[in-house]
């Protein structure tokens, strides 16, 4: 009996070692008794007491770092320059949505290994103890105790393609996740670029507002001087002051728009640095001077140039104060050289979301194969060894064998699983066709919008020049008393509006261009 106990204990140790080497352990976070006491004591104390601090993160995911808050008017003069490509690269490195997509890819890759594990050997182990007794009136009373253990390996050799289909399903699903990641990259690039252009647009408009304040300041000073000489009425002075105030209000609103645009750009980049940066001109957005290294001045410091410039006839001219520093100077426009058919062909070839749909259709095809092969048998190989000991004898058999069988098969259920799988496959093909059709028409629509704005920009350029010339003529006529103040202000308003509309058209063109490139799958 003592030998049996020893064998029983040794077999348990062997199996425990066997399980520790063949299995993964799942550790549970069980709070200790002292920790529970602390929480109990805290809930019974004064309600104003602060709760215990939360424990630090144990995940490998880093906590996002938030930068310092800076104001537009208190920025350092030695700021780094970030081009549009620099901002895109920063966003691709720090955007957590891309990290989530990358984790989905890794999870899909793990699913491939999980499907392949069906070919891996299965380990089994068992410990047994049996006691049997026999007693009666006409037989000899007997008792028997036995103990034993058994270990074995079982491996699937071939299941006629079911596992292979499941492995292919996991592979195609991983490829779909990769294409989803690429499409997420497209969205990140697009959002950053649009917000970058929005900052450029706000800066260009700010230039126009500042120039308008200078013009209105000069106009007020000139009108006031002419009123002192008896050449203009008091109402012209009042109107000039009102227009100057409106121009300053516009400038304040423009500064607010710029601040909001910068915050939106940093948000799309997930900007985490304490140091600020300045933006730079792009190929088709080159309005401001010196790569936008201009300080945003307070409207209280904006003044006209020293002294009034006069014509040879001695007339003070408003337009001489701005020196024709309008936004169209040095502006270059380079249209995108691309035909509509080329755009559509590239989209059907490059769009990652379309490729993702193709992979999902492949997943459904492999799933249907796996379902249809459920009728096929499975060939397995087995190897086992055991030891059994009772009070008088022992045995230690070694068994090696192979088997083929179907297992538990429900033909009725498999029939409907096949029908279900076929319908899901048809849905996948329909989604693929819908995606192709949507991309085909989406690219053409975006292409037409971009081309329309390409034709519009040169015409608006001419309009800026024409309204500037009209403003110069109105300025000259007002100086000699040939027209009234309202006509002069209308000419100035038309000039400012034409500049603002031109900036908006250039912004819309760049947005339309990026929208087309995104619909084509071009990063």
Q: What confidence category does residue 65 fall into, taking pLDDT thresholds of 50, 70 and 90?
A: confident
Q: Is the pLDDT of residue 398 over 90?
A: no
Strand pairing partners for 127? 149
Asked if residues 509 and 453 have their Cβ atoms less than 8 Å apart, the reply is: yes
pLDDT score, position 317: 67
CATH of the domain at 191: 1.20.1600.10
Number of domains in the chain: 1
- Average confidence (pLDDT) over 27-41: 41
**Ramachandran bin of 430, using left for φ above 0, alpha for ψ from -120 to 50, beta for the remaining angles:** alpha
Asked if the structure places residue 475 within a domain, the reply is yes
pLDDT score, position 242: 94
- Tell which wins on pLDDT, 244 or 274: 244
pLDDT score, position 386: 78
Closest CA to 485 of 222, 211, 250, 230: 222
Residue whose structure tokens are 């529970």: 36
Q: What confidence category does residue 15 fall into, taking pLDDT thresholds of 50, 70 and 90?
A: very low
Asked if the structure places residue 395 within a domain, the reply is yes
Burial pattern 85-95, b for ≥16 Cβ within 10 A else e, equals ebbbebbeebb
Asked if the structure places residue 56 within a domain, the reply is no
Asked if the structure places residue 62 within a domain, the reply is no
pLDDT score, position 36: 44
Contacts of 412 (CB under 8 A, 6+ apart): none
Six-digit token pair at 125?
């182990």
Asked if the structure places residue 3 within a domain, the reply is no
Q: What is the pLDDT of residues 110-119, one digit of tens each?
A: 999 988 988 8
pTM listed for this prediction? 0.79
Q: What is the pLDDT of residues 335-351, one digit of tens each?
A: 899 999 999 999 999 99
Asked if the structure places residue 14 within a domain, the reply is no
Asked if the structure places residue 12 within a domain, the reply is no
Provide, rounded to the nearest whole percent, the portion of the chain with pLDDT above 70. 75
Using CA atoms, how far residue 187 sits from 3, 86, 97, 102, 269, in Å, is 72, 16, 10, 15, 12
- Average confidence (pLDDT) over 75-85: 76
Asked if the structure places residue 152 within a domain, the reply is yes
Residue whose structure tokens are 């000069």: 218
Q: Which residue range(s) make up the domain with 93?
A: 72-133+142-326+336-520
Q: What is the pLDDT of residues 290-325, one digit of tens each?
A: 444 444 545 456 665 555 556 566 666 666 555 555
Using alpha carbons only, give the angle 427, 430, 432 rounded to the nearest 5 degrees: 110
DSSP state of 374: G
- Average confidence (pLDDT) over 21-39: 40
Closest CA to 445 of 520, 503, 506: 520
């Amino acid at each position: 009996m003592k030998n049996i106990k020893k064998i029983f204990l040794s077999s348990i140790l062997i199996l425990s070692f066997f399980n520790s080497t063949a299995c993964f352990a799942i550790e549970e976070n069980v709070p200790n008794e002292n920790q529970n006491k602390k929480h109990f004591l805290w809930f019974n104390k004064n309600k104003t007491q602060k709760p215990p601090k939360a424990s630090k993160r144990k995940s490998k995911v880093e906590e996002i770092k938030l930068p310092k808050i800076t104001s537009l008017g208190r920025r350092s003069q030695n700021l780094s320059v970030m081009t549009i490509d620099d901002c895109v690269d920063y966003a691709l490195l720090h955007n957590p949505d891309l990290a989530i997509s990358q984790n989905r890819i890794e999870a899909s890759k793990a699913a491939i290994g999980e499907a392949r594990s069906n070919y891996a050997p299965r380990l089994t182990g068992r410990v047994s103890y049996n006691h049997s007794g026999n007693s009666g009136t006409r037989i000899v009373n007997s008792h028997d105790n036995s103990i034993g253990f058994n270990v074995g390996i079982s491996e699937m050799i071939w299941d006629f393609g079911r596992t292979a289909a499941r492995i292919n399903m996991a592979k195609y699903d991983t490829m779909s996740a990769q294409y989803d990641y690429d499409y997420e990259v497209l969205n990140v690039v697009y959002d950053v670029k649009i917000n970058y252009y929005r900052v450029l647009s706000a800066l260009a408009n700010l230039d126009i507002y500042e120039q308008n304040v200078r013009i209105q300041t000069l106009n007020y000073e000139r009108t006031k001087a002419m009123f002192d000489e008896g050449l203009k009425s008091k109402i012209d002075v009042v109107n000039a002051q009102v227009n100057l105030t409106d121009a300053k209000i516009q400038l304040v609103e423009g500064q607010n728009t710029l601040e909001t645009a910068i915050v939106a750009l940093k948000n799309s980049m997930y900007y985490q640095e304490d140091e600020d940066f300045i933006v730079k001109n792009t190929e088709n957005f080159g309005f401001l001077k010196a790569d936008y290294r201009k300080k945003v001045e307070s409207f209280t410091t904006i003044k006209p140039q020293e002294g009034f410039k006069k014509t040879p006839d001695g007339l003070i001219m408003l337009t001489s104060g701005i020196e024709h520093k309008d936004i169209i100077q040095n502006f270059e426009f380079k249209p995108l050289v691309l035909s509509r058919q080329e755009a559509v062909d590239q989209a059907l070839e490059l769009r990652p979301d379309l490729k993702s749909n193709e992979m999902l259709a492949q997943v459904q095809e492999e799933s249907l194969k796996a379902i249809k092969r459920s009728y096929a048998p499975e060939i397995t190989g087995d190897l086992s060894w055991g030891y059994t000991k009772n009070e008088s004898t022992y045995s230690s058999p070694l068994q090696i064998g192979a088997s083929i069988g179907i297992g538990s098969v429900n033909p009725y259920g498999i029939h409907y699983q096949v029908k279900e799988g076929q319908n899901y496959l048809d849905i996948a093909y329909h989604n693929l066709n819908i995606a192709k059709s949507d991309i085909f028409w989406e690219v053409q629509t975006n292409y037409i919008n971009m081309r329309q704005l390409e034709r519009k920009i040169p015409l608006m350029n001419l309009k800026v020049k024409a309204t500037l010339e009209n403003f110069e003529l109105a300025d000259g006529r007002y100086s000699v008393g040939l027209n009234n103040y309202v006509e002069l202000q209308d000419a100035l308003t038309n000039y400012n509006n034409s500049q603002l509309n031109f900036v908006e058209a250039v912004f819309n063109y760049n947005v339309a261009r990026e929208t087309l490139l995104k619909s084509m799958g071009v990063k």
